[in-house]
Structure 1
Amino acid sequence: MRIVDLTGVKNLLDSEHAQSLSWINDAAEPVVALGRLYPSGFRVPLHSHNKTQLWCARRGVVLVSTTDGRWMIPPGHGLIIPAGLEHSTEMISEVEMHSIYVDPSVAGASGPKVVEITGLGKSLMEELVLVDVRPLSVRRQRLIMELLLDEISLLPERPLGLPFPEDERLASLCRRFLKTPAANAGIDDWARDLGMSRRSFTRLFRSETGVSFVTWRQQACLFASLPKLAAGEPVTNVALDAGYENIAAFTTMFRRMLGSSPSTYLKARSA
């Protein structure tokens, strides 16, 4: 278990990452934990592990790309990545990451999925990541590993895998939108920024993301709102910052996407 600070590194793939990859693949333990601090814009090229990975964003936003799709992971959530699946990552902001690697014979995965990290799961991961700082007895470490494996199997899946385009011009607009979301953003404005007709833009957007612009915009607004809600900002302020004219419209969108109101969702997270 180790913590690596890469906030001062801008290389695509440095020796530390290569060493960590080798360390992860060669580890004999059934559960391996790694903590990292990444700078905004840091990219990790395509790679894979021989273990099932739970990539958890404790702080910041990360984009994970695989041959199956692209997922945006907000704070308090994670992406389960099956063993052997090639993936790359891009830090949309400065990111604090805790990652758990599990032998696939112990905990396999049929495909990538976004999960919500429970309070218990967060605490257990932190104990393993910080074991070099806060040493654990062998017995306690094994108990934590066993409980974490059980908790990972129970983590609730969330529809937060925000599709992300490969087209760099369109991806640039999407990144900008995530920094300053606006629920009333119009197709015509985006089409004009790309020098395209409305029809060409809508065709390009759906082919790149698999969803309509309106659907993506709603998901992105929700995605950008979760960290603020988790930080304790009033729902009204978050709704207005996201471009909604009133809290009712924001609550309706939130309930449609996650099945509950913002307040109910946050209470459930706290519980």
Structure 2
Amino acid sequence: MSASDAAVFEATPRPVVSRGNAYPASFELPTHQHRRGQLLYASKGTVAVTTPFGAWIAPPERAVWIPSEIPHAVRMIGAVNTRSVYIEPEVTGAAGAACRVIAVSPLLRALLVEAVHVPREYDTSGRDGLLMALLVEEIGRAPRVPLDLPLPSDPGLAALCARFLEHPNVVEGIDAWADRLGMHRRSFTRLFRRETGMSFAQWRQQACLLAALPRLAANEAVTEVALDLGYESATSFSTMFRRALGKPPSDYRAA
């Protein structure tokens, strides 16, 4: 969407509007923001969203809620078809004021697919208006899925986190990080939790999980992904994965 198209789209006199797009593999949308809140759903492929506050990834059957005015960039993992819903701030309701990944139920998925065919200036009192109202309701009711990774604002810690995200490894130790910042372990632990809201071990595991999802979506072997991330075996990786997401990693591989 060009800047002029986006302006017209944002100005549409309807509380909810929807749009579908197709993107090639590895395509990136640079940092931008919307006046409306956005639900970003990939009907095909996987999307990764980054903001100044963290990172979120939406594999199949998941979507990312991005509140209004939040700067964000989007990276496509594989060829991606998106279905986006843009909602005026005053009607977002239970969708919330923070980014989150939500589970997409069969009903919500059907609504997202149908919404892109609704005329831009639809009849708010007719069938299309009811469809859009139900869509907003279902977004608000959708359960959150823990596929987010908070990023610290402390410059030294942020640099270490960025380096780790380039080469995540589950065996990397907290003492090495503390040494790099010239801190005692206890002080580092307090700083890390204050900056991210998570323990170092929790954050490290979550980073590895988010790194694994795109690779699984690209149909890489579970064993190869597990060993690259520092797990002793595919079994130990699969145990962590199932505990976190309720499904084995094989379920996230491309058919």
After superposition, the Cα gap between the structure-2 partners of 1:25 and 1:224, relative to the gap in structure 1 and judged at 3 Å, is same
CA deviations 1:108-147 (Å, max 9, x no partner) are: 3234321245788679767877x8xxx99x89x959x658
RMSD of the alignment, in Å? 4.0
1:230 Cα deviation after fit: 1.7
1:52 aligns with 2:37: yes
Counterpart of 2:155 (choices 168, 180, 200) is 168
Name whichever of 247-256 and 106-115 sits farther off.
106-115
After superposition, the Cα gap between the structure-2 partners of 1:174 and 1:120, relative to the gap in structure 1 and judged at 3 Å, is farther
> Could you list the per-position Cα deviations for residues 74-113 of structure 1 after superposition, in whole angstroms to 9, with x for gaps in the alignment?
243432234xx5422255x578776420245665323432
Aligned counterparts, 1:9-158, within 5 A: 16=3, 19=4, 22-33=7-18, 35=21, 42-44=30-32, 49=35, 51-56=36-41, 59=46, 61-65=48-52, 70-76=53-59, 77-82=62-67, 85-90=68-73, 99-103=84-88, 108=93, 109-112=95-98, 113-116=100-103, 142=128, 146=132, 152=139, 155-158=142-145
Is the 2:37–2:66 Cα contact (8 Å) retained in structure 1? yes
Aligned to 1:266: 252
Letter in 2 for 1:252: T
Identify the residue that residue 180 of structure 1 maps to in structure 2.
167
Q: Residue 94 and residue 234 in structure 1: after superposition, are their counterparts in 2 closer, same or farther (change >3 A)?
A: closer
Indicate if the aligned counterparts of 1:36 and 1:98 stay in contact, CA closer than 8 A: no
SS of equivalent residue, structure 2 residue 171: coil
CA offset digits 1:47-98 (Å, max 9, x no partner):
662x332144755532224xxxx3412243432234xx5422255x578776
- Contact persistence 1:24–1:101 (CA under 8 A): no
Cα gap change, 1:245 to 1:55, in 2 (>3 Å): same
Moved more, 24-33 or 172-181: 24-33
Partner of residue 221, structure 2: 234
1:199 to 176, 179, 186: 186
CA distance in 2, matches of 1:123, 1:262: 25
Aligned residues: 237
Q: Is 1:75–1:227's contact at 8 Å kept on the other side of the alignment?
A: no
* Equivalent residue for 2:200, pick from 207, 210, 213: 213
Identity score, percent: 41
Contact in 2 for aligned 1:179/1:224 (Cα 8 Å) = no
CA separation of 1:157/1:26 partners in 2, compared to 1, >3 Å: closer, same or farther? same
Post-superposition shift, 1:173? 2.0
Distance 1:26 1:87, change over 3 A: same
Query: Is 1:222 equivalent to 2:209 in the alignment?
Result: yes
How many Å apart are 1:215 and its aligned residue? 0.6
Higher RCO (C-alpha 8 Å, min separation 6): 2
Superposition deviation, residue 201 in structure 1: 2.0
Q: Could you tell me the TM-score, scaled by structure 1's length?
A: 0.67
Regions of 4+ moved over 3 Å: 19-25, 33-44, 55-60, 93-99, 103-107, 116-129, 145-156
In structure 2, runs of 5+ residues without a counterpart are: none
Counterpart CA distance in 2 for 1:40 and 1:226 is: 18
Query: 1:266 is matched by which residue type in structure 2?
Result: Y
